[in-house]
Structure 1
Amino acid sequence: MSGQAEALQSDQRPLVVGIGGTIGAISSTERALRIALDAAGEQGFRTRLFGGADMAKLPLYDPKASERTAEEREFVDAVRGASALIIASPGYHGSISGVVKNALDLLEETARDPDRAYLADMPVGLIATAYGWQATGSTIAALRSIVHALRGWPTPFAAAINSAVTKFDDEGGASDPAVVEQLRLIGQQVARFAPLVKAG
């Protein structure tokens, strides 16, 4: 178990887990996700980010594998303990990225959990980034379909960000203040709805 995971276990505040990013350098998607998570944190929640570097450590999901890696177990355990999720994906060829889909496929491990299968009754915020508006819309639609299939509740607002127009910085900001407010709304909405459900 990582030091971050141990610290989270000792903190009894409800947890919001963020999933998103790309393999390689920290991306616009991951920066957008961090803004949303920070907004949830301001509402009294602890947060855990699984970014591109974390997802790169997850092997391709094999439903018949007899054992899971330490990284797979840490990811699934974090989602099991979460009161809400925020999922952020870049738009690749009109849909979500492979690394985000692979991480979500791993949630099949929760299918038979007695207290909460999959994301049942969990609020889930959605963020899509792409170089163009068309891909952001189709990526949000794909994310909504996946969350519904996993029995979760997509929050009313989803953030679609055209990264050809909006640029993020290393300090946690963006070139368009309206985009920052949209991302903060994602975090605020999952925080608002999370107390209505109990983590498994």
Structure 2
Amino acid sequence: MEILIIQGSLGNPSRTAALAELSARTLAREGHRVRLFDLRVHDLPWAVPYGEEESWSRSSPSLRELIRAAAAADAFVWASPVYHNSYSGVLKCALDHLTEREFRDKPVALCGDGGRRGSEQPLEHLRTVARSLHACATSVVVASRADDFTLKDGQYVVTNQEITVRVGEMCRQLAAFAELLRGSAGAVLRSAQRAEELA
């Protein structure tokens, strides 16, 4: 499977980034081709109204890269910290540039860090976004807390074994959903057509 992980935290160090990286390693060990699109290193323009996005995509290499990667993906992981009981603005901006052509009939796994208290609310908001894009969010999500991590060499790493196990369960369910949905309703054809439009 081609799996695109969109990492939606600008923090450095970042617990959300640590979750995204753990998900990437877990999926890669299962033999999947994983692309980690880290919004800390990809400066995307603000999304513009429908009908105008093509000119923006052609002027922004990072945005063209995101759209192509999303069109080619069989499945996604969206990762976000909790900001004001919701998901991050940079992740919202990235998703606003994409359409149901990239997501229809594809699964999305949701994970994020809720700080000291922890919160699944951003993931529930993202579940609504996935539904609006005709994607299928997995039932297994990962909502971590600050004390699930340890700072090592200036970067966070997951040290709570329960979170590591949960990430594994999420990734396995994502791959299983992707296998079931891979050919559903012409999703692959639509993605190929979208990628060709942007070439």
What TM-score do the two structures reach when normalised by structure 1?
0.81
- 1:1-200 to 2 correspondence within 5 Å? 14-55=1-42, 57-63=43-49, 64-65=52-53, 66-68=55-57, 69-108=60-99, 111=100, 117-133=101-117, 136-163=119-146, 165-169=147-151, 173-196=157-180, 197-198=182-183, 199=188, 200=191
Q: Which amino acid aligns with 1:59?
A: P
How far apart, in 1, do the equivalents of 2:23 and 2:145 lie?
16
Deviations 1:77-116 (A, max 9, x none): 00100000000100000000000110110103xx5xxxxx
SS in structure 1 of the partner of residue 131 of structure 2: helix
Look up the SS of the partner of 1:181 in the other structure.
Answer: helix
Is the Cα contact below 8 Å between 1:20 and 1:89 reproduced in 2? Answer: yes
Corresponding residue SS for 1:44:
coil
Residue 138 of structure 2 aligns with an amino acid whose one-letter code is T
Preserved contact between residue 149 and residue 156 of structure 2 (Cα < 8 Å)? no
Change (3 A) 1:192 1:172: farther
Moved more, 121-130 or 24-33: 24-33
Q: Deviations over 1:37-56 (max 9, x none)?
A: 2211122111000113234x
Flag structure 1 segments of 5+ consecutive residues without an equivalent. Answer: 1-13, 112-116
Tell me, in whole angstroms, the C-alpha distance in 2 between the residues paired with 1:33 and 1:72.
20
- Label 1:60 to 1:126 Cα distance change in 2 as closer, same or farther (>3 A): same
* Alpha-carbon offset, residue 132 of structure 1: 4.2
Aligned length: 177
Percent identity over paired residues: 27
In 1, Cα distance between the equivalents of 2:117 and 2:108? 22
CA distance in 2, matches of 1:24, 1:128: 13
Contact 2:13–2:156 (8 Å) recurs in 1: no
Could you tell me which amino acid in structure 1 is paired with residue 174 of structure 2? V
How big is each residue's C-alpha offset from its partner over 1:18-61, in whole Å with a ceiling of 9 and x where there is no partner? Answer: 01132242411011011112211122111000113234x11111
SS at match of 1:107: coil
Structure 1 pair 32/184, CA: closer, same or farther in 2 (3 Å)?
same
Task: Say what the alpha-carbon RMSD is for the aligned residues.
Answer: 1.9
Q: 1:54 to 1:76 in 2, by over 3 A?
A: farther
Amino acid at match of 1:40: L
Moved more, 177-186 or 75-84: 177-186
Letter in 2 for 1:146: V
Give the TM-score normalised by the residue count of structure 2: 0.81
Shift of 1:192: 1.9
- Residue 157 of structure 1 aligns to a residue in which SS? coil
